[in-house]
Amino acid sequence: MTTSPTVQTRVETIAEEAEAGSLRGVILGVGRYLRRNPQLIVGLILLLGLVAFTTIGRLFVDIAGAHPLAGPASQPPSAEFPLGTDPQGRDVLAVMVVGAWLTIRTGVIAGFIGILAGSAVGFVAGYYGGWADRIITWIVDVLLTVPAILFLVIISAMLQNGLTSFGMALIIALLAWRRPARQVRSQILVMREAGYVEMAKLSGSSGFSIIFKEIAPNLMPYLISSFIVAVAAAILASVGLEAMGLGPQNEPTLGMTVYWIMQFSAFLLGLWWWILPPVLILIVLFVGLYLLNAGLDELANPRLRKRT
């Protein structure tokens, strides 16, 4: 079997109650893990709540209201517009439903590309070593020194006309691979020397089989954890750029909403129903991702596992 040691030890503790590998065993395992990690539960609730808000919300809220001039300007919350409207006549509730979706999508796309590219680069550096490693490490080190936000600001300022939120995700992905590359590299360096890899080599496994049967399964927990970190970082970058007015001009993302709030001096106008929803949704999103990652930390670092 190719299960990682993390999974195996967990299965062993459950073995008293259920057959190893059976559905009941898996459910029990997940249940135990959740019970030991309240952070994970809270994080999941926050994130699933947001996803539900933006998917189920679509069924009840008219999305067309997320565009300017869909309603009267600067109306406080009412029966027709539960969260009121902004000075350009957008229905704030519709903006939130669409914006949460766009922002989450941007983060997931950029994070996914970043992890994919980053682990490929990190793998090459860590596994093959030598000159490839030295050059890659040097490039990553230099790129990590240079403030990412500045690169992103220049790139998105260049492309600003006609930028979509999908294009935004691609721009952010340009720099999202740096950290995963470094993490995967150091992980591979450790694993390359690990006993089970030596063992596989001695028993004559091919390089290909070592990579996919020995290293890849053990790398999974790290990849899941760095994926969440990458998504959070991508959302942070996209919302930051948008709040500077460098995002997609025609899409109601959460960051662009923050930008318009500052442009229209919403604080002086007292439009609280416009200010608070995007800020609160973003806070829920960031806290949810953070707690999810903290809750999964044990998975990536088995040494942290609490005794039960």
What does the block give as tokens for 241?
Answer: 């750029």
CB 180 to other proteins: min, Å = 18
Beta pairing partners, 85: 91
**Which CB atom, from 118 or from 277, has the smaller least distance to other proteins?**
277
Q: Say which residues have a Cβ less than 8 Å from residue 147's Cβ, sequence separation at least 6.
A: none
**Which CB atom, from 72 or from 270, has the smaller least distance to other proteins?**
270
Beta pairing partners, 91: 85
**Which CB atom, from 239 or from 299, has the smaller least distance to other proteins?**
239
- Which string of DSSP letters, residue by residue, matches 134-198? HHHHHHHHHHHHS-HHHHHHHHHHHT-TT--HHHHHHHHHHHHTHHHHHHHHHHHHHHHTSHHHH
What does the block give as tokens for 278?
Answer: 């995007």
Give the interface with other proteins as residue ranges (CB under 8 A).
141-142, 145-147, 149-151, 153-155, 157-158, 236, 239-240, 243-245, 258, 261-262, 267-268, 270, 272, 275-276, 279, 282-283, 286-287, 289-291, 294
What is the distance between the terminal CA atoms of the chain, rounded to a whole angstrom? 26
CB 38 to other proteins: min, Å = 9
CB 285 to other proteins: min, Å = 10
CB 268 to other proteins: min, Å = 7
CB 100 to other proteins: min, Å = 15
Report the b/e string of 46-83 with b at 16+ CB within 10 A: bbeebeebbeebeeebebebbbeebbeebbeeeeebeb
Dihedral sign computed on CA atoms, order 230, 231, 236, 239: positive
CB 215 to other proteins: min, Å = 27
